[in-house]
Amino acid sequence: MDRLRGWPATLSEGPVGLRPLRLGDVRVWRDTRLRNADWLRPWEPSNPETPLFKTGLGPYISMVGTLRREARQGMALPWVVTYQGRFAGQLTVGAIVWGSARSAQVGYWIDGALAGRGITPTALAMAVDHCFFTTGLHRLEANIRPENQASRRVVEKLGFREEGIRRRQLHIDGAWRDHICYALTVEDVPGGLLVQWRRARESAAHGGSPVEEV
């Protein structure tokens, strides 16, 4: 059974979109990463399979090849985040486990110049709905450093549960770092996460509790 037969999927919500990662994104991806090096470095794993800020094109091509292979094997869903049709960041659902778990982990980054417009939570809500209602996953985790307040706000405003600390889980920025585990299961969003997020923003726009954009 091809569990990822619905992929690659292109999704959109207003000016925010998700589309498959392409080899043709190499230059804009590299330029965005270099421009955002200080913004991203404290939060990203030290992993040679996922190049951070190297200027060459080879590491990116290798990364895309790895992610595409994992996608064909049903292990990953790699997306580009777009805003008004332009490259804005990256969102990857990886470490997919099938069988009795049907779980995965999600990671994301956004161009710092576009922070504060609600792009990241909108993109994440679309990805969650696709994973739960199209791909057939049951549980998604986001593991985030306690110090990364911006990323924590993204998952907290979308209703991810905080499930505790994972001690020294990943090697980041020169040391083994603790992470907070956040999670959702499909039972938490019976009507879809994107619908919940739309309602929260609409309520805020009409005088309800404010929703801080990230």
**pLDDT reported for residue 67:** 87
Helices (H), 46-141: 58-72, 119-130
Per-residue confidence (pLDDT) for residue 8, from 0 to 100:
63
Longest dimension (CA), the chain: 50
Residue 48 has a pLDDT of 45
Distance of CA 138 to the CA centre of its chain: 17
Interatomic CA distance for residues 28 and 132, integer angstroms: 30
Identity of the residue numbered 134:
T
pLDDT tens-place values along the chain, 214 residues long: 345 545 668 999 999 999 998 889 989 998 998 899 888 877 777 654 455 555 567 777 888 888 889 988 899 999 999 999 999 999 999 999 999 999 999 999 999 999 999 999 999 999 999 999 999 999 999 999 999 999 999 999 999 999 999 999 888 887 899 999 999 999 999 999 999 999 988 887 777 655 555 5
Residue 83, strand partner residues? 16, 86
Give the residue from 103, 114, 74, 107 showing the smallest Cα distance to 90. 107
Backbone angles phi, psi at 159, to 5 degrees: 90, 10
Both tokens of 172, joined, read 């980041």
Strand order in the sheet with 16-20: 11-13, 16-20, 77-83, 86-97, 103-110, 139-144, 175-185, 161-172
Question: How far apart (Å, rounded) are the C-alpha atoms in residues 128 and 143?
Answer: 15
CA distance 72 to 49: 17
